[in-house]
Structure 1
Amino acid sequence: MSEPSPAAGGESPSSRRGPLRTGVVREVLDDALARRAKSTGADALDVLDTGGGTGNFAVPVASLGHRVTVVDPSPNALFALERRAAEAGVADRVHGVQGDINGLFDVVPRGGFDAVLCHGVLEYADDPADGLRKAVEALRPGGSLSLLASGLGGAVLGRALAGHFAEARQALIDPDGRWGQGDAVPRRFTAEQLAGLVREAGLEVVSVHGVRVFADLVPGGLVDTEPGALEALLKLEATAAALPAFQAVATQLHVLAEKQG
């Protein structure tokens, strides 16, 4: 049986599970933007989304009234971003430019943004510390950095539960947290490593959260068919996100930091 589509009056399981992937991050980010807007007295902030792709975060942020610049190397992703922003009615507040973190200031100004989103970028950067420094340079004093990256513990746990014990061990001992040649992720981090990189870049860590602590381990059929399961899992994820013990096994890690004025 095919999944119901929104056009048919239903909601696909993948779209229903979207909050499991982004809910914790969006809540933290929305709060940070609200604080920044209050402190500056600005109705609309300037937000930079590096590697923002098709607008999973950019479009919701623009829907709050902010101006969002998305930098992404993929023209196809930027085309999809433009379409998505238009469908959401925020095309006038979303601007996509082709580029990447290495050449960030070829396409955006230094010190021009109230917030910078650096989601899924450091894993692929040639030099994560340098990429992070560039993201920080794009911030105005008092601005916020939202950093989201792949977590080591989640990958180890996932491989082990799938029965790939040698790969789980390899991820643990590999300097970059990779489980083998077939691993599509070049690099993974612990919460301590990410927080350390942020501090070395001159920012103050505000909070650290684990993302997708349980979501990738729970059978999709259970979430999609068991009444109330999705809502209960969302609450469980939100409760566990700030606890270090569960951050250690999260699929992704989120760090919110601020640049001192």
Structure 2
Amino acid sequence: MPDQAPRGETPTRSPRASLRTSVVWEVLKEAIDRRAEATGSPVLDILDTGGGSGSFAVPLGRLGHRVTVVDPSPNALFALERRAAEAGVADRVRGVQGDVHGLFEVVEPGKYDAVLCHGVLEYVDDPAEGVRNAVDALRPGGALSLLAAGLGGAVVARALAGHFAEAHRALGDPAGRWGEGDPVPRRFTAEQLTELARSAGAEPGAVHGVRVFADLVPGALVDTQPGALDSLLALEAAAAELPAFHSVATQLHVLARKPG
């Protein structure tokens, strides 16, 4: 999601980026708009943990919000700085080196209207602590956006690739891993991700499946068939909210709220 259109419009993205982020972006933007309306302020303070080079932070900055990105990678933060400058939001988007476990060494608790925790929980030593810190960073009534790898999507992908033993292993593995060569340390079910939010003191709301079909459809079909991308995006959006498809999504998105 490298570029952001004017407020109320869908950001301009490459086809592949659209398939990866469109569902999450629409859900997140609606939540942030609701928060802005509830607070009476058009400018919110947003924290993006593990936000990397700013695929969400920069578009949020272009909507006028103040965004702090916490990421352990100096290279990612350098790319974020360059990206924010090119987008004209360097005054609204800043990067800080750190991680979700040591979050309050670099930011203050209770200061943010929304916290993004995308692609983080798969890799941290203690996902429960990471979510607790994300919730503690929120102001009362603030929004929490969790995005993590889904177990079912990995099982389906391995099976369709003919790696049946690996699919079986992932299905029964406590961390959802298909083998020693699996690059993802941990995967989640929708129930597990929702419980992490609830146990951290947040009120879970909408759950969406992300990339239900996108990773299974041949890229050549999407790139060459007229209208295929738009049709696939529409299908992804329709399936994302249906619980029946959460179990086969590549990623799972949980939107939660801190009481107050």
> Normalising by structure 1, what TM-score?
0.94
Q: Which residue of 2 aligns with 1:215?
A: 214
Residue 17 (structure 1) shift: 1.9
Off by >4 Å, runs of 4+ in structure 1: none
What is the letter of the counterpart of residue 36 of structure 1? Answer: R
Q: Which residue of 2 aligns with 1:100?
A: 99
Determine whether 1:203 maps to 2:182.
Answer: no
Q: Which residue of 2 aligns with 1:45?
A: 44
Instruction: Write the mapping of 1:108-119 to structure 2, written as runs, cut at 5 A.
Output: 108-119=107-118
Q: Which residue of 2 aligns with 1:191?
A: 190
Q: Which residue of 2 aligns with 1:19?
A: 18
Partner Cα separation in structure 1 for residue 205 and residue 113 of structure 2: 16
Q: Which residue of 2 aligns with 1:130?
A: 129
Q: Which residue of 2 aligns with 1:36?
A: 35
Q: Secondary structure at the match of 1:230?
A: helix
Instruction: Write the mapping of 1:139-178 to structure 2, written as runs, cut at 5 A.
Output: 139-178=138-177
What is the letter of the counterpart of residue 48 of structure 2? Answer: D
What is the letter of the counterpart of residue 17 of structure 2? Answer: G
Q: Secondary structure at the match of 1:52?
A: coil
The percentage of counterpart residues that share the same residue type is: 75
What is the letter of the counterpart of residue 106 of structure 2? Answer: V
Q: Which residue of 2 aligns with 1:233?
A: 232
Determine whether 1:180 maps to 2:179.
Answer: yes
Partner Cα separation in structure 2 for residue 176 and residue 196 of structure 1: 16
- Deviation digits for residues 80-104 of structure 1 (CA, Å, limit 9, x no counterpart): 0011111111111001000001110
Structure 2, unpaired ranges of 5+? 1-12
Partner Cα separation in structure 2 for residue 18 and residue 127 of structure 1: 29
Partner Cα separation in structure 1 for residue 15 and residue 206 of structure 2: 27
Instruction: Write the mapping of 1:236-247 to structure 2, written as runs, cut at 5 A.
Output: 236-247=235-246
- Deviation digits for residues 153-179 of structure 1 (CA, Å, limit 9, x no counterpart): 000000000000000000000000000
- Kept in 2, the 8 Å contact 1:17–1:230? The answer is no
Q: Which residue of 2 aligns with 1:10?
A: none
- Kept in 2, the 8 Å contact 1:113–1:143? The answer is yes
Determine whether 1:257 maps to 2:256.
Answer: yes
Partner Cα separation in structure 2 for residue 61 and residue 169 of structure 1: 40
Residue 15 (structure 1) shift: 2.2
Across the aligned residues of Structure 1 and Structure 2, the Cα RMSD in angstroms comes to 0.8
What is the letter of the counterpart of residue 171 of structure 1? Answer: A
Partner Cα separation in structure 2 for residue 36 and residue 132 of structure 1: 20
Partner Cα separation in structure 2 for residue 114 and residue 69 of structure 1: 12
Partner Cα separation in structure 2 for residue 15 and residue 162 of structure 1: 26
Partner Cα separation in structure 1 for residue 61 and residue 167 of structure 2: 39
